[in-house]
Chains A and B, each alone.
Chain A
Amino acid sequence: MKKSGFKAWLYLLPAFIFLAVFMIYPLVDVVIYSLEEGYSFTSQQSLGVGLYNFSKVLRDPMFLQALKNTFLMVIITVPISTGLSLLIAYGLSSIKKLQELFQTIYFLPYVTNTLAVGMVFMILFNDTEHSAGLVSAIIRFFGGAGVNFIKGPYWAKMFVLCFYTIWIVMPFKILILTSARASVNPNFYKAAKVDGASNAKIFFKITLPMISPTLFYLIITGFIGAFKAYSDAVALFGTDLNAEGMNTIVGYVYDKLYGSGGGYPSYASAAALILFSIVLTITVINLIIRRKKVIY
Chain B
Amino acid sequence: MKVVLDHLTKRFPNRNKKIKTEVVAVDDFNFEIPDGKLVGLLGPSGCGKSTALNLICGLETPTKGKVFFGEEDVTEYPPERRGVGMVFQNYALYPHMTVRENIIFPLTNLKGNNKLTKEEMNARAEKAASLVQISELMERKPSEMSGGQQQRVAIARALVKTPRVLLLDEPLSNLDARLRLQTREEIRKIQKETGVTTIFVTHDQEEAMSISDLIIVMKLGRVQQIGAPQEVYDEPVNLFVAKFLGTPAINVFSGNVSGGRLYIGDKCVLETEGARDGKVYVGIRPEGFVPDAEGPFESKLLRVEVMGRDITVVSEHELAENPTVRSIVSAENRIDVTSETVRFTLKPNKVFLFDAETEERVFFKAE
Contact = CB atoms under 8 A, between A and B. Distances in A.
B80 A194 contact: yes
A129 interface: no
24 contacts: A185-B90, A187-B88, A187-B89, A187-B90, A188-B92, A191-B92, A191-B94, A193-B78, A194-B57, A194-B58, A194-B84, A194-B85, A195-B106, A195-B109, A195-B157, A196-B80, A196-B106, A197-B80, A197-B109, A205-B105, A206-B94, A212-B96, A296-B95, A296-B141
Interface in B125-150: 141, 143
A290 interface: no
Contact of A188 (B58, B84, B94, B109): B94
Given A197-B105, A197-B109, A295 B96 contact: yes
Contacts of B161: 195
Nearest to B85: A194
Nearest to A208: B96
A194 B94 contact: no
B109 A194 contact: no
B110 interface: yes
Interface in B65-108: 78-80, 84-86, 88-90, 92, 94-96, 105-106
Interface string B52-66: 000001110000000
Interface in A204-236: 205-206, 209-210, 212
B106 to A, nearest CB: 4
Interface string B165-181: 00000000000000000
- 4 closest A-B pairs by beta carbon, nearest first, are A196-B80, A195-B106, A196-B109, A187-B92
The CB with the most chain B CB atoms within 10 A, among A190, A194, A196, A212, is that of: A194
A39 to B, nearest CB: 53
Interface of A: 185, 187-188, 190-198, 201, 205-206, 209-210, 212, 294-296
Contacts of A201: 109
A296 to B, nearest CB: 4
A96 to B, nearest CB: 13
Interface residues of B, number: 24
A187 B79 CA distance: 14
A185 B141 contact: no
Given A195-B105, A197-B105, A190 B95 contact: no
Interface of A is mostly: helix
A201 B86 CA distance: 19
A210 B95 contact: yes
Contact of A185 (B92, B143, B157): B92
B158 to A, nearest CB: 8
Nearest to B88: A187
Contact of B96 (A195, A196, A210): A210
Interface of B: 57-59, 78-80, 84-86, 88-90, 92, 94-96, 105-106, 109-110, 141, 143, 157, 161
A195 B59 CA distance: 11
A31 to B, nearest CB: 42
A294 B141 CA distance: 11
A201 B109 CA distance: 9
A296 B31 CA distance: 43
Given A188-B94, A195-B157, 13 more contacts: A188-B92, A190-B59, A191-B86, A194-B57, A194-B79, A194-B86, A195-B109, A196-B109, A196-B110, A197-B80, A198-B109, A210-B95, A210-B96
A187 B90 CA distance: 8
Contacts of A190: 59, 86, 88, 92
A195 B78 CA distance: 11
Contacts of A196: 79-80, 106, 109-110
Nearest to A193: B79
Nearest to A212: B96
Contacts of A212: 96
Contacts of B57: 194
Nearest to A201: B109
Contact of A191 (B78, B88, B110, B143): B88
B52 to A, nearest CB: 15
Nearest to A197: B109
Contacts of B141: 296
Given A194-B59, A206-B94, A296 B109 contact: no
Contacts of B79: 193-194, 196
Contacts of A194: 57-59, 79-80, 84-86
B166 to A, nearest CB: 11
B271 to A, nearest CB: 55
A236 B279 CA distance: 88
A296 B140 CA distance: 11
A193 B59 contact: yes
Contacts of B96: 209-210, 212, 294-296
A239 to B, nearest CB: 48
B84 to A, nearest CB: 6
A194 B106 CA distance: 8
Contacts of A294: 96
A145 to B, nearest CB: 51
B123 to A, nearest CB: 18
A192 B78 CA distance: 12
Contacts of A188: 92, 94
Contacts of B88: 187, 190-191
A112 B80 CA distance: 46
Contacts of A195: 80, 105-106, 109, 157, 161
A92 B79 CA distance: 25
A294 B89 CA distance: 26
A12 to B, nearest CB: 33
Nearest to A190: B59
A198 B96 CA distance: 18
Contacts of A193: 59, 78-80
